[in-house]
Amino acid sequence: MNKDEKKALISFLLIYVSSTVLFIGIMLYSYYTNEVKNLDKQCNMIMSTAASKIKTDILKSHMDHIAYVPSKVKNRSINYGLFDKNQNIIFSNLESNEIDFSKIVHYNGEYNFHISTFEDKYENKINIKYIVIETQQGYSDKWNLKILTLSILIFSAVFILIIGYFLSKLLLKPVREKILHMDNFIKDSAHELNTPIAVLLTSASTLKQGRNTEKMLQYMISSAKQISHIYNDIHFSAFNEIDEDLNQDFDLSLMIKESVGYFNDIAITKLIIIEVEAYETIIFMDKNKTQRIINNLLSNAIKYSKKDSRILVKLKENILSVEDFGIGISKEDQKSIFKRYKRGNNIEGGFGIGLDIVCRVIQEYNLSLNLESKPKMGSTFIVDFSNAKQINN
């Protein structure tokens, strides 16, 4: 991963994770505040119930003329104290002395308090004015709630970070592959163009000296046509998406014969003979795109054919076949041979965009393409133009 990719990855993660965590944080804060209110209500209800129970026991003892004996509350989290009207302790197992008698319910940061008072008519008879209920349960529940909320937030942040990382890697993968392919494309283009240009310059120099005139002219023509074919492929690959289709009726056999005549000047440099057998076939397609299919199949056949061999081009009953007797393609390579910038053999060079262009045009017009090949024996590319013919009908 290069510097720019790392920068893009970090920027994406920062934006994605921070925005998502912020959203989750807001949701968790809303959940936390609601839960705190519920816990306060629950705690107040427990303390109020405990105070009512103690008050009832005190009044019952008074009615039965029995001295009230303070006892522990069943709820172990509850402590209580009894105070007279001067706030003097009558009984207490409270753990905190920070009591505000002016408030019925209050919280001192660690303990919750609930204060219940007796009416004046009972106060003088039982000598008890205040029942103070104390509990740390609310503090404990809130602390546990905080831990839970923070744990969820941290876990969510880590989970989102992991998901974001793999998501960004997944999103960057096609970009990285395209950049890698483009790097290879540029390197291969320099290599591919170097050969015909070098031959062109050498032939021009030799021709200037007046030696091997006919042969040098043939080399120059072949090199110029190779450069032209390379340029046409680059132009088509770069601008095909913005160019409009100009579909029309034309005879495919005439186009094939013209292309064969054009590529004969390239094939002759490898002593390759192109044999053509084409019957009239009227189709309805874009001429330029159809030309790309034929030219790239011929160029591919010449490139991977052995010297002093032949190429058979046949068109019959809407079926075009281009057969060479070259290096062939293994079954494993046949699965990926139509991918962009994939080359059949690194030694032979080539952009690798030729078969990709063929595949794209075939898919656009819903044609079919088959490949029959055996290593070291040759390859046959078969294109069925039946659907192109049906469009016209």
pLDDT of residue 338: 63
- What are the structure tokens assigned to 306, written together? 């052995």
**Each residue of 281-337: pLDDT tens digit?**
999 999 989 998 999 899 889 888 888 999 999 999 999 999 999 888 888 777 767
- Are 188 and 230 spatial neighbours (Cβ–Cβ below 8 Å)? no
* Distance in angstroms (rounded) separating the CA atoms of residues 72 and 268: 111
**Each residue of 160-219: pLDDT tens digit?**
888 888 888 787 777 777 777 667 666 766 766 776 787 788 778 877 777 777 777 877
List the one residue out of 249, 268, 285 whose CA is nearest residue 383. 285
**Each residue of 87-126: pLDDT tens digit?**
999 999 998 888 999 899 988 888 999 999 988 777 667 8
CATH of domain 3-148: 3.30.450
Q: Where are the beta strands (DSSP E) in the chain?
A: 78-83, 89-92, 105-107, 112-117, 130-135, 247-251, 273-278, 282-286, 310-316, 319-324, 368-374, 378-384
Delimiting residues of CATH 3.30.565.10 domain(s) in the chain? 243-392
- Are 104 and 115 spatial neighbours (Cβ–Cβ below 8 Å)? yes
Q: Which CATH superfamily is domain 243-392 in?
A: Histidine kinase-like ATPase, C-terminal domain (3.30.565.10)
Res. 375: pLDDT tops 80: yes
* Distance in angstroms (rounded) separating the CA atoms of residues 264 and 274: 7
* Distance in angstroms (rounded) separating the CA atoms of residues 302 and 12: 47
- What are the structure tokens assigned to 307, written together? 């010297």
Q: In terms of pTM, does the model score above 0.85?
A: no
